Amino acid sequence: MPASPAPQTSRSPFVRLADLLASVEPGRTPLSAAVGEPQHAMPDFVPGGLAGAGGGCGRYPRAEGLPAFRTAAAHWAGQRYALPRPLDAEREVLVLNGSREGLVSAAVIASRRVGARAGRPAMLLPNPFYAAYAAGAELAGCEVVVMPTTRETGWLPDLDALDPALLARTVAVFIASPANPQGAIASRAYLERLAGLTRASGAYLFSDECYSEIYLGAEKPAGILECCGTDFDKVLAFNSLSKRSSLPGLRCGFVAGDADFLKDYLAFRGVAAPQVPEPLQAVGIAAYQDEAHVDASRALYQAKFDLADRLLAGRFGYERPAGGFFLWLDVSASGGGEAATLRLWREQGLRVVPGGYLARPGADGVNPGDPYIRVALVQDLDTCGEVLARLVAGLS
């Protein structure tokens, strides 16, 4: 798989979206379905948790996190996944200020720890991808190489297409399951094979699992730490409470896996990364000890996609995703992602994201996201119904 042309620095898709729409007046009262920001009801335990831990504001938090938080995260992972052994909360779990900054700084540490590469160091990203992956790769001085994810590949990178010469110069591979934006879920067999390929090449595998609890069927998505043996060597799983608990403003999550990597990672984070305030960790502990609010939130997402099944059937290439909360819609008939985004804003006041802003051109020079828009179903059921109604009215 050859390298794709890429700019030297990443630019936020939302900055690009703001530029696109800046001179266009919305045709109706604005309604945003652009940002993946869960807006479900805040869990009841949040205010009390913050108030009860207010004393923690009087001291600097430790970079590794409270022992109680790390224990809670390790216990949750052990309950949620069929891990080959329990996580060591002291050595194999660290608190994060949300998964985004953790993914970026992990790329820097991988570039320092990995052995000599057979060529220009590269990091592999699914295409489309979460912008933080590219930012981390670029900060680490690595070439960004995109791996196509299409309907034909099941919306996941085609592992058969990975060139051994490319893997030999790879520093890290990023993967997300459920995928952002298409919602594909990687099977256990897929993750086992991916872990084997990356380890054999000497690269790290970073698994972004922040959508792990938003699945639309009965089967829970597998996690990478279930699929890599007992030592977790060169494998890291990233998770957060933003999606699971509808707490994007809490900025609290964790990373778990390779203990040797996390030792260097912690040393770096102790001087270069944001610490997580203790009151926020206290809420995180309560969140990881409660599944009722997660079940209720998941049921609401399922109801929203039930509605999408009815309103979007036969339109825009819609298929109910396996997980996540995004629609990934083919709007080629409306001129592609940018044209459809402008039309929806101009006529319906509906804000969505052009799919091309979430991807990069491949080796063939074609951006696979250009025909698509991404629509986030993050509000209450009635509001999401309005999003869908405006979508159909604006593009029919």
How does DSSP assign 18-38, residue by residue? HHHHTT---SSS-EE--S---
Distance, CA of 338 to CA of 355 (rounded, Å): 8
The fraction of the chain above a pLDDT of 90, given in percent, is 96
For the chain, the domains span 13-41+293-395, 45-290
Across 284-292, average pLDDT: 98
CATH topology of domain 13-41+293-395: Aspartate Aminotransferase, domain 1 (3.90.1150)
The length of the chain is: 396
Instruction: With beta carbons less than 8 A apart as the criterion, state whether 258 and 228 touch.
Output: no
Q: Residue 189 corresponds to which amino acid?
A: A
The per-residue pLDDT for range 196-223, each reduced to its tens digit, is 999 999 999 999 999 999 999 988 999 9
CA dihedral 304, 305, 306, 307 (to 10 degrees): 60
Q: 219: Cβ–Cβ under 8 A, 6 or more apart, which residues?
A: none
Burial class (CB in 10 A: 0-12, 13-18, 19+), 299: exposed
Distance, CA of 237 to CA of 271 (rounded, Å): 22
Domain 45-290, architecture per CATH: 3-Layer(aba) Sandwich (3.40)
Distance, CA of 139 to CA of 141 (rounded, Å): 5
Alpha helices (runs of H) in the chain, residue ranges in sequence order: 13-21, 45-52, 67-80, 99-113, 131-139, 164-167, 188-201, 241-244, 259-272, 278-288, 292-312, 337-348, 381-395
pLDDT at residue 64 tops 70: yes
CB atoms within 10 A of CB 86: 11
Instruction: With beta carbons less than 8 A apart as the criterion, state whether 283 and 49 touch.
Output: yes
pLDDT at residue 34 tops 70: yes
What does pTM read for this prediction? 0.96
Strands 235-240 and 253-257: antiparallel
The per-residue pLDDT for range 346-395, each reduced to its tens digit, is 999 999 999 999 999 998 999 999 999 999 999 999 999 999 999 999 99
The fraction of the chain above a pLDDT of 70, given in percent, is 97
pLDDT score recorded for residue 262: 98
Q: What tokens were used for 19?
A: 């530029």
pLDDT score recorded for residue 8: 43
154: three-class secondary structure by DSSP: coil
The per-residue pLDDT for range 8-28, each reduced to its tens digit, is 457 899 999 999 999 999 999
Residue with tokens 């709007």: 331
Q: What is the mean pLDDT of the chain?
A: 96
Distance, CA of 212 to CA of 109 (rounded, Å): 25
Distance, CA of 166 to CA of 39 (rounded, Å): 41
Residue with tokens 């991807």: 359
Q: Is the dihedral of CA 328, 124, 122, 261 positive or negative?
A: positive
**Order of strands across the sheet with 170-176?**
93-96, 253-257, 235-240, 204-208, 170-176, 122-127, 143-148
